[in-house]
Amino acid sequence: MTALARHPLASTSCPRVGAFRGASRVRVVRCAAAAGEVMLEVKDLEAKIAATGQLILKGVNLTIRNGEVHAIMGKNGSGKSTLSKVLVGHPDYEVTAGTAVFKGKNLFDLEPEERSHAGMFLSFQTPIEVPGVSNVDFLRMACNARRKSRGQAELDPLEFYAYVMPKLELLNMDPTFLNRNVNEGFSGGEKKRNEILQLAVLEADMAILDEIDSGLDIDALRDVAKAVNSLKSADTGVLMVTHYKRLLDYIRPDFVHIMQAGEIVKTGDMSLVDQLEAGGYATLSMVDE
């Protein structure tokens, strides 16, 4: 989902280590299972809104290993989308402190496009429309840019058609989507499916999915989740931002993080989500609000 990093306009297991942060100290919990290689390591990340200087991220720490699925939840305005966008290099934000290493590279040394080529993908909460550009041309261009960066031969239109058809089928998407302009006139659910189609086409290593469940009907949610699950492997990482358990019932996270006021203040497993569903954020003991 290097959507941002991925395209030029915006630009596509087992729990191991989790930090449980209380009001005054951080406790590290380690699982005995074998750990995959670290894909993304974010340390003490701080970022502000470039235009206003308002600090939004206030020391985010997050480690995602190959094969892991992480979910980030949190109240509205806690900074979840900002974190997603900062990771792909959105120009609205400026990193003021901290580090992020993605597949061994300093993420903040890379341009958004380079992050995409390196395998990072963000699905937008509100996918943008690109009038005048057909979906198939856009997808092929993005796909070939990534292939080129990996030293692979570019796909011609016919080859791309053969490549993309099974992916459309997987998502239960009508092939006529290919000939329509990117997201133009798409329903909310169609836009979300199109995001996942981009993820599938780009074969990204790290998928950041920002509220892919919003606006989806029950069938579309199942299709999208099925597609994401089919794209997961021991070499990919997933970071999902969501407000609801229903998505996590389909795409099971290894870790669930709670974000509050620009920080990850609690990390656990699905039981955290059950607590949230039962009693809201007030039931979790987090840092003082």
Ligand X SMILES: Nc1ncnc2c1ncn2[C@@H]1O[C@H](COP(=O)(O)OP(=O)(O)OP(=O)(O)O)[C@@H](O)[C@H]1O
Q: Which of 11, 13, 81, 123 binds ligand X (CB under 6 A)?
A: 81
Q: Which of 77, 104, 185, 279 binds ligand X (CB under 6 A)?
A: 77
147: exposed, middle or buried (C-beta count within 10 Å: 0-12, 13-18, 19+)? middle
Q: How many residues bind ligand X (CB under 6 A)?
A: 11
Q: Which of 82, 116, 123, 260 binds ligand X (CB under 6 A)?
A: 82
Per residue in 221-234, is it b (16+ CB within 10 Å) or e — as a string? Answer: bebbbbbbeebbee
| 80 binds ligand X, rule: CB under 6 A | yes
| 56 binds ligand X, rule: CB under 6 A | yes
C-beta of 241: minimal distance to ligand X in Å?
Answer: 7
| 33 binds ligand X, rule: CB under 6 A | no
With tokens 């019932």, the residue in question is 249
- Residue partners of 262: CB distance under 8 A and separation at least 6: 46, 55, 56, 57, 58, 59, 60, 78, 79, 82
The tokens for 230 are 């089919």
Residues between 99 and 128 that touch ligand X (CB under 6 A):
none
Q: Which one of the spans 71-79, 178-186, 218-226, 271-279 is the region binding ligand X (CB under 6 A)?
A: 71-79
Closest of 222, 4, 230, 218 to residue 127, by C-alpha: 4
Q: Which of 28, 49, 165, 234 binds ligand X (CB under 6 A)?
A: 49
Q: Which of 76, 176, 271, 285 binds ligand X (CB under 6 A)?
A: 76
Closest to ligand X by CB, 223 vs 263, is: 263
DSSP state of 111: -
Closest to ligand X by CB, 12 vs 82, is: 82
Closest to ligand X by CB, 56 vs 201, is: 56
Q: Tell me the CB-side half-sphere exposure of residue 36, using CA atoms within 13 A.
A: 21
The tokens for 147 are 């292939």
